[in-house]
Amino acid sequence: MLFDMRKLDQLIQLWLDEDCNHYDLTAKIMVDDAARASFGLNAREDIILSGLPMVERVFRTLDPDCRFEASCRDGDRIAAGTTFATVTGHAQSLLTAERVALNLMQRMSGIAGLTADYVRAIEGTGAVLVDTRKTTPGLRMLEKYAVTCGGGRNHRLGLDNGIMLKDNHIAVAGSISAAVARAKAHAPILTKIEVECDRLEQVREALEAGADVIMLDNMSNDDMRAAVTWVAGRVPLECSGGVRLDTIRAKAETGVDIISVGRITQSAACVDIGLDEL
């Protein structure tokens, strides 16, 4: 996992505070203080699992001594009806943590499953599926982790992970050549520079300026094929814009190296996972 677990703990505390302000009124009334219980996490539809370590941490935040046992791992394909983990501990605490734990895993597993659909659609083409920064505020690292569970790769984790020169940056600088030159003069030595191009003549300028990666933004498949032929593997080419499950195969077959898809994090539906008493 490419994130600090300390930050995850901070997020979990925020989520629990949001859901349980002063106390869980229902659990306090209905469940004896000393009661213990065991629950199973059940897939109620076919899913690709994502979020197990996070869910365990949610339960342990309220019951540090609970026993959490998983029979599967993140990235596994789980059939409907499967109990893939159990948790045993202080009943009040587990019931209070239930909704936060399920919300998180349902969201992450939904992203993992949609990502897997896109990855499967481009099998054999050589193109790599990557995510974008189009993530839910506050959940970026978890959603990007979910993408990897579905077989995708991460693009920039944040604005400090690389330089991407988009149309507005280029307009301010005056040209692609000027923008790349300025970036190279000031960027950390190991930082890559990507240039967004929406016309073929820009691809030539970006390559000659020394871009490390070139994004083909909303280009037609014919133009992307032309760019692939002209660049001839000198730098990686990224396809971006208008990528859907029904269009991604044709885009991958143009020969691009990378395909970035915002939909895998923006449009994934939460899957159905339940917590049931054993």
Instruction: Give the catalytic positions in this structure.
Output: 99, 134, 166, 196, 217
Distance CA 161, CA 187 (A): 11
Rounded to a whole number, what is the distance in angstroms from the first to the last CA of the chain? 30
DSSP 100-148: HHHHHHHHHHHHHHHHHHHHHHTTTS--EEE--S---TT-HHHHHHHHH
Handedness of CA 251, 253, 254, 260 (dihedral sign): positive
Measured from the Cβ of residue 84, the count of other Cβ atoms closer than 10 Å reads 20
Closest C-alpha among 176, 151, 180, 107 to residue 261:
151
